[in-house]
Chains A and B, each alone.
Chain A
Amino acid sequence: MIESFMKDELRDYLARIPSLEYDLLIDSWSRPLPEGFRVNTLKLPEEYILERLRKKNILFRKIPWARYGYILEEEFELSTTIEHMLGLIYLQGPVSMASVEALDPRPGEIILDMCAAPGSKSTQISQILQGRGVLIANDPVIDRCKALSSNLQRLGVYNVVVTTLDGRVFPKIAREFFDRVLVDAPCSSLGIVSKDWSVVKNWSIHNVIRLSRLQFQLLRAAFDCLKLGGTLVYSTCTLTVEENELVVHKLLRSRSNAYIEEIKLNGLRYEEGLTEWNNMKLSDELSKSLRIYPYHNNAEGFYIVKIRKGG
């Protein structure tokens, strides 16, 4: 069914990605994504909140790669529960939680979430900071910042500054300032097609190239405002090489002190990042990045890479 929406251009493109199993991808796009949620320990202990959910006969299981992360085992309208409205839980895709786990924030650090709205990953970072250190939740689109602010409020985050800067200007005002930076970049969203089939209908390589330019500028800015020894995570919810490995490859070529680090996340299935594309040899380091297809974990598709800034 979904294939009828697809242009030949996209079908041909996907067929060229060596690690991708096309039929499995189409099948996973046709099924709804599982509902994931995080328990917000900034407000109350994890077990107390889980017990409230159990009393409502809500069935869920632990996500092995995300602290405080769970997946619903049966459909339930969590978004209208008291627990959701009070900020005791936050609805978030299970693989989306992996970016922040890869970032591995530590209490006391100064952390920038460069493309923060609507706030899923910002609230996750805040939870791990436990009120110590500072989170800068940035998004250039003011309308999107309303949702971001509401979510930060609902989850009870007080050590946060919300800014509306173009991410690319951060090095001008905060060069080598942050301990960690998350760049969850705007992308062509091929990893979350199940949510919105128009993604495949509107897909074009022209748009991918346009996004790729912006993504590189954001990643380079993120790297430049990291402290020496700091780390960043670059992630997208898409599958194209131009928006993922090629963006990182370009950074590695332009910044000699950028090193890719291994990511270890318990139970998360993925393929290694590509080290060759269109007969072009890419950095071998890219094999340490994670290419997560929707069928790997029956959830969203993502690309995640962790980069350290050497001294």
Chain B
Amino acid sequence: MKILNDSEKKILQELLYQQHGVKEAFEEFILVMGGDSKIRATTLETIEVARKLRKVLQIGLYVAKYRRNKNDVFLSIEGSQLLNNQITKNVVELSEEECREWMRGAPIHLSINTDSRYIVGKIDKIYLGSARVSRDGKLYPQIAVWRRIPEE
């Protein structure tokens, strides 16, 4: 695990600004990057406590996946919920039924006009993380398998 320095954090923030209109995303957090390109958010105090301990498995909350080679970033459910109404661009409001489909990880067809590779879903005040926008206009929600609602 590696703590992102200021310039690395700025790159991520710039991407999230372009993609979702969020200014200085996760500014109040320390961001840590794992080997799996996952960005985790935590506090300085948490890092300091972790340094004192042994057999640390994990620190903080997974908020985004950042792939440096593709220069793209998408938000986890919790990442989008931490940013919530700071997200002003590429966000789509879903119905209850669409929300269930989203949480099943199933592709959703919505007519959206966007150049972005990712959009964030939301229902009322609840943010649902990112979905990848495919060329055929479908949205592929990036929901981890363990969090998917099972098929009825």
Contacts and interface: CB of A to CB of B under 8 A. Distances in A.
A34 B28 CA distance: 40
B53 to A, nearest CB: 5
Main secondary structure of the interface of B (DSSP, over half): mixed
A162 interface: yes
B3 to A, nearest CB: 14
Interface residues of A, number: 34
A164 interface: yes
Interface stretch (B12-20, B59-67, B130-138): B59-67
A219 interface: no
Contacts of B53: 136, 161, 163, 165, 173-174
Contacts of A156: 61, 78, 81-82
B57 to A, nearest CB: 5
B103 A161 contact: no
A13 interface: no
B43 interface: yes
A44 B128 CA distance: 13
Contacts of A145: 57
Nearest to A177: B52
Given A80-B150, A85-B148, A154-B147, A162 B56 contact: yes
Nearest to B58: A162
Nearest to B57: A162
Contacts of A43: 81
A180 B55 CA distance: 20
Contact of B46 (A82, A85, A159, A165): A159
B54 A86 contact: no
Interface string A77-92: 0001010011110000
A145 B56 CA distance: 11
B49 A110 contact: yes
B6 interface: no
B60 A160 contact: yes
Contacts of A160: 42, 46, 59-61
A134 interface: yes
B88 to A, nearest CB: 20
Q: Which of B43, B59, B78 has the most chain A CB atoms closer than 10 A to its own CB?
A: B78
A110 B149 CA distance: 35
A75 to B, nearest CB: 17
A133 interface: yes
B147 to A, nearest CB: 5
Q: Which of B76, B81, B150 has the most chain A CB atoms closer than 10 A to its own CB?
A: B81
A163 B61 contact: no
A48 interface: yes
Contact of A153 (B54, B62, B128, B150): B62
Q: Which of B46, B103, B128 has the most chain A CB atoms closer than 10 A to its own CB?
A: B46
A158 B47 CA distance: 11
Q: Which of B53, B56, B62 has the most chain A CB atoms closer than 10 A to its own CB?
A: B53
A153 B55 contact: no
Nearest to B143: A85
Interface string B98-135: 01100100000000000000000000011010000000
Interface in A262-294: none
The 7 closest A-B pairs by CB, nearest first: A158-B61, A162-B58, A161-B50, A162-B57, A134-B49, A164-B55, A156-B78
Interface of B: 29, 41-43, 45-46, 49-50, 52-62, 76-78, 81-82, 99-100, 103, 125-126, 128, 146-150
Given A82-B103, A156-B82, A165-B54, 18 more contacts: A44-B125, A82-B99, A82-B149, A134-B43, A134-B49, A145-B57, A152-B61, A153-B78, A156-B61, A158-B82, A159-B42, A160-B46, A160-B60, A161-B46, A161-B49, A161-B56, A163-B57, A165-B55
Interface of A: 43-44, 48, 80, 82, 85-88, 110, 131, 133-134, 136, 142, 145, 149-150, 152-154, 156-165, 173-174, 177
21 contacts: A44-B125, A44-B126, A82-B103, A88-B126, A133-B45, A134-B45, A153-B61, A156-B61, A156-B78, A158-B42, A158-B60, A158-B61, A159-B45, A159-B46, A159-B60, A163-B55, A164-B57, A165-B53, A165-B54, A165-B55, A173-B53
